[in-house]
Amino acid sequence: MIIDNPGWLSQLTSLKQLVLTNCQLLKVPDHISSSSLSHSNYSFTSLQEIEIVDGFIHPATINWLLNSSVKLNSLELSNNNLRGTLHDLLGNISSSTKNSLETLYLSFNQLGGLILDDFKNTFPSLTNLRLDNNQLEGHFPNCLKRFPNLKSLVISHNQFFGLLPDLSSMPNLESFEASNNKFSGVSSESIGKLDYLYLLIVSINSLTGYVSHVNLQCPSLKNLDFSFNSDMSLKFDSKYYIPSFQLETISLASCKLGTEFPNWLKTQTNLQKLDISNSGIYGPVPKWFTSITPNLNYLDMSHNLLNNTLSNFPLAYPNMFDDVIVDLSSNQFQGSVPPSLLVHATCLYLSNNKFNRFSSFLCEAKERVKSTQLLDLSNNNLFENIPHCWDNFSQLFVLNLGYNKLFGNIPNSINMKTLKTLQLRHNNFSGNFPSSLKDCTSLLALDLENNSLEGPIPSWIGEKLSNLVFLSLKSNKFDGIIPLSLCQLTQIQILDLSSNDLSRAIPSCIKNFTSMIRVNNSRKTILSDVRFSNGPIPDLSRCSHCSYSEYTFSYENYASIIWKGVQYEYGKILGLLRVIDLSCNKLNGEIPMEVTHLSLLDLSNNRLTGRIPTGPQLQLFNASTYSMNLGLCGNPLPSSCPGDDDNESSHVPASNLARDDDGDWLYVVIIIKWNFLRRKLIDPIVEIRIKKIYILWMKILFVMIINM
């Protein structure tokens, strides 16, 4: 909504709260000039709160609103594309507003520069300040330490640098967030003793040194996040140290915690989230770990060197939420996967370990797996048939069993209508294409690459799995034709049928892949959203203070493509690709007309014949795209097609050949001879000499023509 002239707002003399979302306040009231903004004749005598977010507001209009308010105590102007410095924006406002304002939120704008010392004098009563997601820079502003009543300070996602400040000068501080900046150290007094601090987030900086129990004397602390400061250590000197705080959220990903489990963790019995991933710890998980898990709903211990057999993994969930994320990936866990891990686990990441059995894990869980939505056991040593125990996985969105040693048929019980991603690549599955997959009508990504599946590619794929964006059947034993129904996959972006025994012609309807034609669809990525009973859930390592109702989560598929002998991994850029790989089959006949906007194409090692179509897209690929097809000819291959020499002249209109009244015949002869000589003699010459050769041959041609 556009508010062209907001002057009428001043007539609302009893207005206490002004809330405008997705509005554009483009114009200052007509009767107000820039020279009189601080002396408005109108007053919002009752206005206490202004919230104008997610729109656009002219800076002069901001000044008008602030100078027309007598007792404003809350101002939020988040996400309004505000520019300049804080002084430019707020330096010219009335003393009444300066003295009364307690809450100031300016998040998600483009404010930059330094915060000047006079900012402290601007709002002496300030208690809540949000300046996150701007372009502010410099050392931590000393003026921010001089707000005696400040309770909440958020400066995340800016460009502040230098030492993390000593926060003890703000004794009433309750929450401090400074993630995603460039702070490069921890002063010896950092944080200090703060009796009321319950939220501390300084993740994703370049902090060095260590934080000890001396630095962290905060009895009210509930949420602690030092994650992704890889040169920072958390050191509590005594094994018998008992912190004064009881944490609910601990995020220490990529921090240095030593080689053993931090002993002080066993005192934290109220934990809801624990992230100690990539922290350098190894060995078994201690038995006391059970005592801290009753309320846990997010556990990330991935990318360490933990090596329990997990037969009696110390996890207990007597009072657990229905929705739980457990990430134990990239460790050295081995043996069988215990069934207890599936209890209440909504998302379970167990990839990159040394597990070798999972039958009992699946089959004994029974009713307890109904809430499971993501299961990732890829890159293990699983060596067995997949059991027929999938009937209870009624909410499964993502199943990844790739890179194992599983064998036998793919069970028919894998037929969940909710399934969006099925990855079974690099195993030893055999038999025909599983007919049960026709019930998986929500599939976006199906990857059966590098198995021993055989028989024809079923014709129902295009009809039943019409939402597919990624389909890889590479390196199997499929034979027969490419079914015409594949052309119904109008959302497909990656189609890999290479290294099979497919024969006959490439369907001409392949040009109907509309997702490969629509440019406006190029940013689409393959995401399998995972829904939770409490709402969607995000990566909690990035959202330490989120309430559960705000959680959102999605599992991003990573496509692996081996192209010309090089393996490429595609994650978030998957939507930018348009790939067709039909190489290493027995396809014959001619190449159909081009599919536009392809990124990669490989038709090599087949039995294709005829001229390569001359459309601009297919001509952009190099010769290797069409190599080892002995019957193919034409650009970009070095072999020309029969009759190419004659065809050079056939493109000249007959009317031009017949005209000789004004010397046009001379022009035609020159063009014909020039094209012939260019193709035979000029094209092979190194490009740097082309101009010289061109001039030379033009002289020769001129002499030849004069002497005719």
pTM attached to this predicted model? 0.81
Number of C-beta neighbours around residue 218 at 10 A: 23
Given a contact cutoff of 8 angstroms between Cβ atoms, the answer to whether 345 and 372 are in contact is: yes
> Which residue shows structure tokens 């630095």?
215
For residue 472, pLDDT beyond 70:
yes
Give the number of residues written for the chain. Answer: 708
For residue 700, tell me if it sits in a domain.
Answer: yes
**How does strand 527-529 pair with strand 554-556?**
antiparallel
What is the Cα–Cα distance from 594 to 628, expressed in whole angstroms?
A: 20
Q: How confident is the model at residue 651, as a pLDDT?
A: 42
- Choice among 403-412, 510-519, 680-689 with the minimum mean pLDDT: 680-689
Q: How confident is the model at residue 687, as a pLDDT?
A: 46
Q: How confident is the model at residue 599, as a pLDDT?
A: 76
Q: How confident is the model at residue 506, as a pLDDT?
A: 92
Nearest to 212 by CA among 189, 185, 240: 189
Where a domain ends, among 106, 132, 155?
Answer: 155
Range of the domain at 133: 1-155
Report the 3 state secondary structure along 18-54. Answer: EEEECCEECCCCCCCCHHHHHHCCCCECCCCEEEEEC
Q: How confident is the model at residue 664, as a pLDDT?
A: 33
Where is mean pLDDT largest: 8-12, 92-96, 174-178?
174-178
Residues 80-103: tens digit of each pLDDT: 999 999 988 888 887 888 889 999
Where a domain ends, among 100, 132, 155?
Answer: 155
Residue 340's pLDDT band, with cuts at 50, 70 and 90, is confident
Q: How confident is the model at residue 577, as a pLDDT?
A: 60
In degrees, rounded to 5, the angle at the alpha carbon of residue 206 between the alpha carbons of residues 201 and 209 is 90
Helix, strand counts (H, E) of the chain: 11, 50
If DSSP codes are grouped into helix, strand and coil, which group holds residue 670? helix
For residue 661, pLDDT beyond 80:
no
Given a contact cutoff of 8 angstroms between Cβ atoms, the answer to whether 475 and 498 are in contact is: yes
Quick one: what percent of the chain has pLDDT higher than 70?
Answer: 75
For residue 330, tell me if it sits in a domain.
Answer: no
Give the rounded distance of the alpha carbon of 5 from its chain centre. Answer: 41
For residue 21, pLDDT beyond 80:
yes
Task: Write the DSSP symbol of residue 256.
Answer: B
CA distance to 397, 467, 486, per residue, from 440 (Å): 10, 10, 16
Residues 501-527: tens digit of each pLDDT: 999 999 988 776 766 655 444 444 454
- Choice among 13-17, 121-125, 550-554, 565-569 with the minimum mean pLDDT: 550-554
The mean pLDDT of 656-671, rounded to a whole number, is 34
For residue 117, tell me if it sits in a domain.
Answer: yes
| Residues 511-515: contacts with CB under 8 Å, at least 24 apart | 511/592, 511/593, 511/594, 511/595, 512/487, 512/488, 513/487, 513/489, 513/595, 514/490, 515/469, 515/490, 515/491, 515/578
Bridge partners (DSSP) of residue 199 are 175, 223
N- to C-terminal Cα separation, the chain:
78
What is the Cα–Cα distance from 32 to 658, expressed in whole angstroms?
A: 78
> Tokens in use for 152?
């909440």
What is the Cα–Cα distance from 194 to 145, expressed in whole angstroms?
A: 13
Where a domain ends, among 112, 127, 155?
Answer: 155
The whole-chain average pLDDT of the chain stands at 80
Burial (CB count within 10 angstroms: exposed 0-12, middle 13-18, buried 19+), residue 232: buried
Q: What are phi and psi of 410, to 5 degrees?
A: -75, 120
Contacts of 268 (CB under 8 A, 6+ apart): 243, 246, 247, 250, 292
What is the Cα–Cα distance from 194 to 297, expressed in whole angstroms?
A: 28
For residue 449, tell me if it sits in a domain.
Answer: no
For residue 161, tell me if it sits in a domain.
Answer: no
- CA max distance for the chain: 108
CATH number at residue 1: 3.80.10.10
Burial (CB count within 10 angstroms: exposed 0-12, middle 13-18, buried 19+), residue 630: exposed
Residue 150's pLDDT band, with cuts at 50, 70 and 90, is very high
> Which residue shows structure tokens 């396809």?
587
Q: How confident is the model at residue 675, as a pLDDT?
A: 41
**How does strand 566-570 pair with strand 559-563?**
antiparallel
Bridge partners (DSSP) of residue 422 are 399, 446
Q: How confident is the model at residue 187, as a pLDDT?
A: 60
The mean pLDDT of 209-226, rounded to a whole number, is 87
For residue 113, tell me if it sits in a domain.
Answer: yes
Residue 346's pLDDT band, with cuts at 50, 70 and 90, is confident
What is the Cα–Cα distance from 529 to 301, expressed in whole angstroms?
A: 23
Q: How confident is the model at residue 492, as a pLDDT?
A: 87
Count the domains in the chain.
Answer: 2
For residue 606, tell me if it sits in a domain.
Answer: no
Helices (H), 289-439: 359-363
pLDDT higher for 697 or 488?
488
Burial (CB count within 10 angstroms: exposed 0-12, middle 13-18, buried 19+), residue 693: middle
If DSSP codes are grouped into helix, strand and coil, which group holds residue 135? strand
Q: How confident is the model at residue 620, as a pLDDT?
A: 79
In degrees, rounded to 5, the angle at the alpha carbon of residue 233 between the alpha carbons of residues 247 and 186 is 90
What is the Cα–Cα distance from 345 to 363, expressed in whole angstroms?
A: 15
Residue 442's pLDDT band, with cuts at 50, 70 and 90, is very high
For residue 54, tell me if it sits in a domain.
Answer: yes
In degrees, rounded to 5, the angle at the alpha carbon of residue 550 between the alpha carbons of residues 548 and 551 is 70
Bridge partners (DSSP) of residue 478 are 455
Number of C-beta neighbours around residue 359 at 10 A: 15
pLDDT higher for 201 or 492?
201
What is the Cα–Cα distance from 549 to 23, expressed in whole angstroms?
A: 27
> Tokens in use for 691?
């101009």
What is the Cα–Cα distance from 25 to 326, expressed in whole angstroms?
A: 47
CA distance to 269, 363, 447, 448, 462, per residue, from 391 (Å): 36, 10, 21, 21, 25
> Tokens in use for 326?
């457990």
Given a contact cutoff of 8 angstroms between Cβ atoms, the answer to whether 426 and 403 are in contact is: yes
Number of C-beta neighbours around residue 204 at 10 A: 22
Quick one: what percent of the chain has pLDDT higher than 90?
Answer: 43
Number of C-beta neighbours around residue 701 at 10 A: 15
For residue 462, pLDDT beyond 50:
yes
